[in-house]
Amino acid sequence: MKQFQYTRALTQQSAIEAIAKPGTKIIAGGTNLIDLMKRGVTAPDKLVDINHLPLKNITATKTGLHIGALALNSVVSENSLVLQKQPLLSMALKAGASPQLRNMATVGGNMMQRTRCSYFYDTTMPCNKRAPGTGCGAMEGINRMHAIFGTSDQCIAVNPSDMSVGLAALDAVAIIAGKKGERRIPFTEFHRLPGDHPELDNHLAAGEMIVGVEIPDNNFAKNSYYLKVRDRQSYAFALVSVAAALEISNGTIKNARLAMGGVAHKPWRLFDAEKALIGKPATEDSFKQAAQIAMQGAKGYQYNSFKLKLAPATITEALKHAAGLA
Amino acid sequence: MTKGMSRIDGRLKVTGAARYSAEFTPAGMVYGVLVGSTITKGSIRLIDTKAAERAPGVLKVITWLNSPKIAGYQVEHGKPEPAKGTYKLFYNNKILFNGQPIAVVVADSFERALFAASLVKAQYNADPHHTNLRDNAAKAFAPEGDGTTKRGTEDAWKTAPVKLEQEYIIPSEVHSPMELHAIIAKWDAEDKLTVWTKTQGVQDTRDGIAGIFKLPKENIQVNSKFVGGAFGSALQVWPHEVAAILAAKAVKRPVKLLLGRADMFTSVGYRPYTWQKIGIGATADGKLVGITHEAIGQTSTYEDFNEGPIGVSRSTYACPNVNTIYKLAALDIGSPTWMRGPGEATGAFALESALDELSYELKIDPIELRMKNYASTDPESGKPFSSKFLDEAYKLGAEGINWKDRNAKPASVTKDGWMVGYGMGGGMFGAYRDKAAAKAILMADGTLIIQTAVSDIGPGTGTAMVTIAAGVMGIPADKIRFDMGDSSLPLAPSQGGSATTATVGSAVYQACTDLKEKFQKLIGNGGTDHPDYAAILKQHSLPKLEVTVESSGGTERDKYAFYSWSVHFIKVLVHPATGVVKVDRAVCVADSGSIVSPKTARSQIVGGAIGGIGMALMEETVIDHRYGNIVNNNFADYHVPVNADIPQIEALFVNKPDPHINPMGAKGMGEIALIGMAAAVANAVYNATGKRVRELPITPDKLVGMDLELS
């Protein structure tokens, strides 16, 4: 590992000033960054530890729920406001990683975690995300875990987060601070698709940091579910995961939110399927139709074509659970 | 709660007081880190170590160019290099597998050695490589040892009224012990060496090192008091151990060398990928007519590893006609090695799956089919079994799992949206008894010390030995000290092949029996069964009394066929939409003679069962054959079961002594705990879904691809 400097930011302002310098990275829980540094995937000159900044609070606002960027995944998942207002987020968090990791990982860090594509981690392999222009090892390689939506000829990696799938479904807003102050962007527009720049995971500009997320109040608490299909029951990334939230009135769907994980370079919100659900009866047939709509444009590769079947099945199952039908 | 003694080292282990091989710090110790090849086959054209040598704290970088000659590697003058043999570290510039060590960097701290290792740059001449068994099966060859055999008529199964032929595949698996392999090598003199290393046998490691470095055995001291799991991965002297010993000599300081988790996939062996085909036929009422069992396993290009997976088909069932074919495909991957249930675990997946398939063809209950073909004598040797109570094990297991709840029609039961299925699969493994010695010393304070050079890789050997000693001597366990894991102690074989309790336990039993007799002689006739040993010593002004005995099996091994048996019963839930398999219940029954140490026996069954569930559902080493490297060489991507995957495992024992194996009547248990489990799970999945997965692991993608639905 390359030698690096470590400093502790005492104020948000000083953190923002510090990260303006190239080669500087923020460290919070470090659950992903340290691995990346050990493997030589990233080699920052300087780490700025932000763990002492006052960004841990979870508070109800007039319009929603504010969660500080440094709130721990474990704390958020057990928080009474979260459980009451946004149980889907709690479910998504608990589906991720392991209890030990959730005790270290922060909300902001979770948003920043990088793909788990093995070609990205192995520095002897080609990878356009790690080393632009070297090619994609996964495209013709072992791509069982890889994307079926929104891929480019540069990269077929997936975003590994469960939390982000929940936040994308819940219309969350990411609050970002930089030298010029704060800006807010829809969570669904925080992460990027790979396109011609797979080295970029998100739209965070140089010198910016995540300070929190906000989730607007909604009527989904009663009918939401996070279903993660994986090779083992804990500490495994999603083959496919689905965050499903419904507002049901007299058996009819008034409103719906759906997002998928394990299928794209970003949390994959299913806007068309949501629209198709509105006004429909909350039945398995409606859910299956929505799942079919959700799959439009999906493309499988050698080892991940099973996701073309698994993804719609998982959407249907998640909706059934959300609607209380399973 | 199971009765019996708790682990004698349990407290040391959970408090961190148990010191493993990496946890010693001899004065002046420095650190070695290996650099692995990034190509899979070819040769090193250039290796640049200058940057590494200049890096802070670096003492030495050893490559094939400057490696001291290793005496045991040298070929006698004028003789040709042997075509096959153990891998020779830094011997020449040839690359035989991805990850092969090409350099060892020694520095004054682990971090500095690790950093300097990243600066070693090699250029290669790469040759085309072959890492895919299926593409190289045509080139497979018959190895020495077990392979092509015939009993009765070849391919007789084809003449049977009910028959089937199917292919079964198990992928390569890695041992994945929690404790990483590590060694500390310290030269005490020019020709005297002490090592602390992870090994299943301190004396075999001593002898291995003696052979490689041409040292007298008595000049080598090997210590390995605690081992955090090994599963077969520590039964030989590996290249990283040679590297540390070599490096320690070169820098004239003790060297510690630890493998990282990724190294564990390339440096200490694995269970070989194996393709199998079984043809099996029976009469309409279920009497087996013939079995043909064919297998092709992977080996390296430099060594033939023969684990004989076809043996199970010869001795498990009473079948008049059995023929086997076993071949090896040499691939550009490091050599495989023994892994828990070696050979039989692979073979039993195929045989026990095939038997299950046959049971559905015949419409006969799988247990009934096995009972119809129950072997009361070893069908292969014709010898009687030393003991076999597998029929009782079937009964115990069937009751335990509520086998009567199984619906013989597949895909016919659901509960809460999950498909429900039951399956069973059996295991067998030779019950060995090797030669071992033990010393028993009764001290003036009444303490009993037992010494033998055995290792304990986790099953609780010390606990079992103390239980045996306590039983013979009538001394409470807390007054007994058990010394082990030290090559200077009395003879003991490596812990492997499920033979330790039967072998070393016999020596301990004998030593204690002889010691007690010595005391009986001192006090003359009429003494009590458990005399006050300390008082007798005092009375006779003796500081201590000791006995050393060597013990081994005798002619009984010519008269009987010795096997341990197991059967696993599994209830699974399979989700029809997502293909997720959950093991809902597991009942495992062992017929392994008398149970010496009930608590550790139970945990051994539980551990083996979990290993078997991992084999069935998730374990798989994945290679990108374009490059020949392993892509999932870490614990996030190589899946072993976590607690959430495992139900309460019910371990049951027939617990009847084997009258012939040894004084305790105890047979081995480590291997049979795993053997047959993968088939039991696959068979339960079939019962639940009507879909047969013949290539492990049974991951959701495979079942989703089969379109599960209720029949």
Structure confidence by residue, pLDDT tens digits, B318-366: 999 999 999 999 999 999 999 999 999 999 999 999 999 999 999 999 9
Which member of B577, B624, B643 has the closest CB to residue A313?
B577
Closest approach of A58 to chain B, Cα-based (Å): 29
Q: Quickly state the pLDDT bin for A156 (edges 50, 70, 90).
A: very high
In this model, does residue A122 exceed pLDDT 90? Answer: yes
If asked whether residues B374 and B392 sit together in one domain, one would say: no
3-state secondary structure (DSSP) of residue B69: coil
* CB-nearest partner of A116 from B627, B636, B641: B636
Q: Do B624 and A233 touch (CB under 8 A)?
A: no
Are B373 and B391 within one domain?
Answer: no
Only one residue has tokens 């007519």, namely: B289
Q: CB contact, 8 Å: A101 with chain B?
A: no
- CA quadruple B175, B468, B606, B389: dihedral sign: positive
Q: Which burial class, exposed, middle or buried, applies to B373 when counting CB atoms under 10 A from its CB (0-12, 13-18, 19+)?
A: middle
Q: Token match 């639905």: residue?
A: B709
**Same domain for B66 and B156?**
no
| Total of domains in chain B | 4
Q: Which residues of B are catalytic?
A: 671
The pLDDT, as a whole number, for residue B529 is 76
Residues β-bridged to residue A213: A67, A174
Q: Do the domain assignments include residue B3?
A: no
Q: Nearest-CA distance from B159 to chain A in Å? A: 39
B2 domain residue, yes or no: no
**Residues in chain A closer than 8 A to B38 (CB atoms):** 124
Q: Among B111, B645, B701, whose Cβ lies nearest the Cβ of A233?
A: B645
Contacts of A230 in chain B (CB under 8 A): 700
Shortest CB distance from A1 goes to which of B115, B618, B632? B115
pLDDT digits 0-9 by tens, A32-91? 999 999 999 999 999 999 999 999 999 999 999 999 999 999 999 999 999 999 999 999
Give yes or no for a contact between B284 and B162, defined as CB atoms under 8 angstroms apart: yes
Chain A residues in contact with B107 (beta carbon < 8 A): none
Q: What are the structure tokens assigned to B82, written together?
A: 């042997």
**Interface of chain B toward chain A, CB-CB under 8 angstroms:** 38, 111, 114-115, 118, 417, 575, 577-580, 582, 617-618, 622, 624, 626-627, 629, 631-632, 636-637, 639, 641-645, 699-702, 704-705, 707
Mean pLDDT of B245-268: 98
Residues of B in Cβ contact (< 8 Å) with A122: 629, 631
Whether residues B688 and B649 share a domain: the answer is yes
Count the neighbouring beta carbons within 10 Å of the beta carbon of residue B320. 14
When pLDDT is averaged across residues B51-63 and rounded to a whole number, the result is: 98
Q: Do B579 and A122 touch (CB under 8 A)?
A: no
The rounded Cα B85 to chain-centroid distance in angstroms is: 22
Q: Which of A138, A119, A326, A136 is nearest to A242 (CA)?
A: A326
Q: Tell me the C-alpha distance between A50 and A227, whole Å.
A: 32
Contact of A269 with A188, CB cutoff 8 Å: yes
Query: In this complex, do B700 and A231 lie within 8 Å of one another by their Cβ atoms?
Result: yes
Per-residue pLDDT, B528 = 72
d(CA B58, CA B115): 10
Share of chain B above pLDDT 70, in %: 99
Q: How far apart are CA B133 and CA A73, in angstroms?
A: 43
pLDDT tens, B133-172? 999 999 999 998 888 999 999 999 999 999 999 999 999 9
Neighboring chain B residues of A229 at a CB cutoff of 8 Å:
578-580, 700
Find the helix packing angle between B461-473 and B500-523, rounded to 10°. 30
Give yes or no: residues B160 and B297 share one domain: yes
Q: If you search the block for the tokens 């197991």, which residue do you land on?
A: B566
B388 and B520 together in one domain: no
- Domains (ranges, CATH) in chain A? 5-51 (3.30.43.10), 58-112+162-216 (3.30.465.10), 223-323 (3.30.390.50)
Confidence check: pLDDT of A135 > 60 = yes
**pLDDT over 60 at A247, yes or no:** yes
Give yes or no: residues B608 and B695 share one domain: yes
Q: What are phi and psi of B111, to 5 degrees?
A: -65, -40
Domain of B219, CATH number, reads 3.90.1170.50
Same domain, B391 and B512: no
Q: Which amino acid is at B357?
A: E
Across all residues in chain A, what is the average pLDDT? Answer: 97
- B631 with A309: Cβ contact below 8 A: no
Q: What is the pLDDT of residue B87?
A: 93
Verify whether the Cβ–Cβ distance B114 to A118 is below 8 Å. Answer: no
Rg over alpha carbons for chain A, rounded to the nearest Å, is: 19
| B223 belongs to a structural domain | yes
Specify whether B570 is located in the same domain as B672.
yes
The verdict on B492 and B395 lying in the same domain is no
Q: What is the pLDDT of residues B367-423, one digit of tens each?
A: 999 999 999 999 999 999 999 999 999 999 999 999 999 999 999 999 999 999 999
Contact B645 A232 (CB under 8 A): yes
On whether residue B513 sits in a domain, the answer given is yes
Which residues, at least 6 apart from A295, have a Cβ–Cβ distance to it below 8 Å? A308, A311, A312
Instruction: Flag whether B7 is in a domain.
Output: no
Q: Which residue type occupies B56?
A: P
CB contact under 8 A, B700 and A316: no
Residue B444 has pLDDT above 70, yes or no: yes
Q: Report whether B213 contacts B291 (CB < 8 A).
A: no
Confidence band (pLDDT; 50, 70, 90) for B525?
Answer: low
Per-residue pLDDT at B526: 62
The verdict on A42 touching B (C-beta cutoff 8 Å) is no
CA distances to A87, A296, B160, B675 from A319, in Å = 15, 18, 51, 40
Q: Are A39 and A18 in contact (CB under 8 A)?
A: no
What residue in B sits closest to A236 (Cα-Cα)? B636
What are the residues whose beta carbons fall under 8 Å from the beta carbon of A85, sequence distance 6 or more?
A: A60, A64, A65, A215, A217, A221
Q: Omega of the bond prior to B697 within 30 degrees of 0, cis?
A: yes
Q: Rounded to whole angstroms, how far apart are CA atoms A324 and B474?
A: 63
Burial class (CB in 10 A: 0-12, 13-18, 19+), B414: middle
Q: Does A123 touch chain B (CB under 8 A)?
A: no
The answer to whether position B1 is within a domain reads no
Instruction: Supply the ipTM of this predicted assembly.
Output: 0.97
Domain range for B328? 130-176+269-381
Show the tokens assigned to B145: 């040892």
Full DSSP string of A13-48: HHHHHHHTSTTEEEESS-TTHHHHHHTTS---SEEE
pLDDT tens, residue by residue, B591-640: 999 999 999 999 999 999 999 999 999 999 999 999 999 999 999 999 99
Q: Give the chain A residue nearest B99 (alpha carbons).
A: A124
Specify the pLDDT at position A28.
Answer: 98
Residue B425 resides in a domain: no
Domain harbouring B324, CATH code: 3.30.365.10
Predicted confidence at residue B711, as pLDDT, reads 73
Domain termination residue (choose one: B552, B573, B597) = B552
Last residue in a domain, options B265, B283, B317:
B265
Give mean pLDDT, residues B440-464.
97
Residue B491 clears pLDDT 70, i.e. is over it:
yes
The verdict on B97 and B222 lying in the same domain is yes
Q: pLDDT at residue B3 above 90? A: no
- Is residue B663 included in any domain, yes or no? yes
User: Is B294 in the same domain as B396?
Assistant: no
Buried b (16+ CB within 10 A) or exposed e, B8-44: bbeeeeeeeebebbbebebeebbbbbbbbbbbbbbeb
C-beta atoms of B624 and A1 within 8 A: no
B257 vs B184: CA distance, rounded Å:
6
Q: Pick the closest to residue B122 from B50, B213, B201, B224 (CA basis).
A: B50
